[in-house]
Amino acid sequence: MYHEIVSPHVHVDVHVVVPREDRPVYTLVTSGMSQKPMADGSFAELTITLPPTWPAPDSPDFATPDASWPYTLLQELAWLPLHADEMQLKLDKGTDALYDVLDEASLTEILDVDRPSVAPAKRRGWFRRSR
Protein backbone atom coordinates (compact mmCIF):
# COMPACT_ATOMS: atom_id res chain seq x y z
CA MET A 1 0.00 0.00 0.00
CA TYR A 2 1.12 3.53 -0.80
CA HIS A 3 0.01 5.47 2.26
CA GLU A 4 -0.93 9.14 2.13
CA ILE A 5 0.62 11.05 5.03
CA VAL A 6 -1.20 14.40 4.83
CA SER A 7 -4.46 15.12 3.03
CA PRO A 8 -6.24 18.46 2.59
CA HIS A 9 -9.57 16.83 1.63
CA VAL A 10 -9.90 13.07 2.07
CA HIS A 11 -7.34 10.47 3.06
CA VAL A 12 -6.49 8.50 -0.12
CA ASP A 13 -4.31 5.40 -0.05
CA VAL A 14 -3.25 3.38 -3.09
CA HIS A 15 -3.45 -0.39 -2.81
CA VAL A 16 -1.24 -2.52 -5.05
CA VAL A 17 -2.26 -5.79 -6.66
CA VAL A 18 1.01 -7.37 -7.79
CA PRO A 19 1.39 -9.17 -11.14
CA ARG A 20 0.45 -12.81 -11.28
CA GLU A 21 0.29 -15.40 -14.02
CA ASP A 22 -3.33 -14.75 -15.02
CA ARG A 23 -2.95 -10.93 -14.84
CA PRO A 24 0.70 -9.99 -15.42
CA VAL A 25 0.41 -6.28 -14.56
CA TYR A 26 0.44 -4.12 -11.45
CA THR A 27 -3.04 -2.85 -10.60
CA LEU A 28 -3.30 0.21 -8.37
CA VAL A 29 -6.60 0.98 -6.65
CA THR A 30 -7.42 3.99 -4.51
CA SER A 31 -9.29 3.82 -1.25
CA GLY A 32 -10.64 6.89 0.46
CA MET A 33 -11.87 8.89 -2.52
CA SER A 34 -15.37 7.57 -1.86
CA GLN A 35 -15.43 9.17 1.60
CA LYS A 36 -17.23 12.07 -0.10
CA PRO A 37 -19.86 11.83 -2.84
CA MET A 38 -19.30 13.27 -6.30
CA ALA A 39 -21.50 16.12 -7.56
CA ASP A 40 -24.15 13.67 -8.76
CA GLY A 41 -24.26 11.92 -5.37
CA SER A 42 -22.45 8.76 -6.48
CA PHE A 43 -19.21 7.38 -5.05
CA ALA A 44 -16.14 6.07 -6.86
CA GLU A 45 -12.53 4.98 -6.56
CA LEU A 46 -9.80 5.05 -9.22
CA THR A 47 -7.66 2.33 -10.70
CA ILE A 48 -4.70 2.26 -13.05
CA THR A 49 -2.64 -0.55 -14.47
CA LEU A 50 1.15 -0.52 -14.85
CA PRO A 51 3.30 -2.82 -16.96
CA PRO A 52 4.85 -5.79 -15.15
CA THR A 53 8.31 -4.24 -15.65
CA TRP A 54 7.40 -1.25 -13.46
CA PRO A 55 9.49 -1.07 -10.25
CA ALA A 56 7.70 -2.71 -7.35
CA PRO A 57 6.88 -0.56 -4.31
CA ASP A 58 9.31 -2.62 -2.20
CA SER A 59 12.22 -2.28 -4.67
CA PRO A 60 15.05 0.26 -4.25
CA ASP A 61 14.17 1.80 -7.63
CA PHE A 62 10.72 2.72 -6.36
CA ALA A 63 12.20 5.51 -4.22
CA THR A 64 12.84 7.59 -7.37
CA PRO A 65 10.21 9.97 -8.75
CA ASP A 66 10.45 8.14 -12.10
CA ALA A 67 8.96 5.05 -10.45
CA SER A 68 6.64 6.44 -7.80
CA TRP A 69 4.86 9.15 -9.77
CA PRO A 70 1.88 6.99 -10.89
CA TYR A 71 1.07 6.35 -7.23
CA THR A 72 1.22 10.05 -6.40
CA LEU A 73 -0.73 10.91 -9.53
CA LEU A 74 -3.48 8.47 -8.62
CA GLN A 75 -3.78 10.11 -5.21
CA GLU A 76 -3.93 13.55 -6.83
CA LEU A 77 -6.47 12.38 -9.39
CA ALA A 78 -8.67 11.22 -6.54
CA TRP A 79 -9.20 14.92 -5.95
CA LEU A 80 -9.68 15.77 -9.69
CA PRO A 81 -9.24 13.10 -12.45
CA LEU A 82 -8.86 13.31 -16.35
CA HIS A 83 -7.52 15.94 -18.83
CA ALA A 84 -9.13 19.33 -18.23
CA ASP A 85 -11.03 19.31 -21.54
CA GLU A 86 -12.25 15.75 -20.90
CA MET A 87 -13.60 16.86 -17.54
CA GLN A 88 -15.26 19.83 -19.25
CA LEU A 89 -16.88 17.49 -21.77
CA LYS A 90 -18.26 15.43 -18.89
CA LEU A 91 -19.57 18.56 -17.17
CA ASP A 92 -21.09 19.99 -20.38
CA LYS A 93 -22.54 16.84 -21.96
CA GLY A 94 -22.57 14.22 -19.21
CA THR A 95 -20.74 11.04 -18.28
CA ASP A 96 -22.11 9.08 -21.25
CA ALA A 97 -20.56 11.57 -23.70
CA LEU A 98 -17.20 11.18 -21.98
CA TYR A 99 -17.48 7.38 -22.02
CA ASP A 100 -18.34 7.52 -25.72
CA VAL A 101 -15.14 9.38 -26.64
CA LEU A 102 -13.05 7.18 -24.34
CA ASP A 103 -14.54 4.08 -25.99
CA GLU A 104 -14.07 5.50 -29.51
CA ALA A 105 -10.39 6.05 -28.72
CA SER A 106 -10.12 2.39 -27.63
CA LEU A 107 -8.37 3.37 -24.41
CA THR A 108 -7.35 0.68 -21.99
CA GLU A 109 -6.73 0.91 -18.27
CA ILE A 110 -2.95 0.57 -18.78
CA LEU A 111 -1.10 3.82 -18.12
CA ASP A 112 0.04 5.66 -21.25
CA VAL A 113 2.07 8.69 -20.20
CA ASP A 114 1.83 10.20 -23.69
CA ARG A 115 -1.94 9.82 -24.05
CA PRO A 116 -3.44 12.92 -25.63
CA SER A 117 -6.85 14.15 -24.64
CA VAL A 118 -9.68 12.43 -26.50
CA ALA A 119 -12.16 15.28 -26.04
CA PRO A 120 -13.28 16.80 -29.35
CA ALA A 121 -11.46 20.05 -30.12
CA LYS A 122 -13.59 23.13 -29.77
CA ARG A 123 -13.78 25.30 -32.86
CA ARG A 124 -12.71 28.88 -32.44
CA GLY A 125 -12.78 31.97 -34.63
CA TRP A 126 -15.07 33.77 -37.01
CA PHE A 127 -16.02 30.81 -39.14
CA ARG A 128 -16.95 28.14 -36.67
CA ARG A 129 -20.11 26.22 -37.35
CA SER A 130 -22.96 26.25 -34.93
CA ARG A 131 -24.13 22.85 -33.72
- The domain tally of the chain equals 2
Backbone phi and psi for residue 17, each to the nearest 5 degrees, phi listed first? -100, 115
Same domain, 55 and 95: no
State pLDDT tens for residues 32-68.
877 777 667 777 888 999 999 999 888 899 889 889 8
Same domain, 89 and 57: no
Same domain, 63 and 97: no
Same domain, 5 and 68: yes
- Whether the CB-CB separation of 81 and 89 falls below 8 Å is answered with no
Domain interval for residue 119: 82-106+113-131
Instruction: Give which of 61, 60, 4 is closest to 31, Cα–Cα.
Output: 4
Q: What is the pTM of this model?
A: 0.60
Same domain, 71 and 29: yes
Same domain, 96 and 129: yes
Same domain, 5 and 60: yes
State pLDDT tens for residues 83-96.
878 878 888 898 78
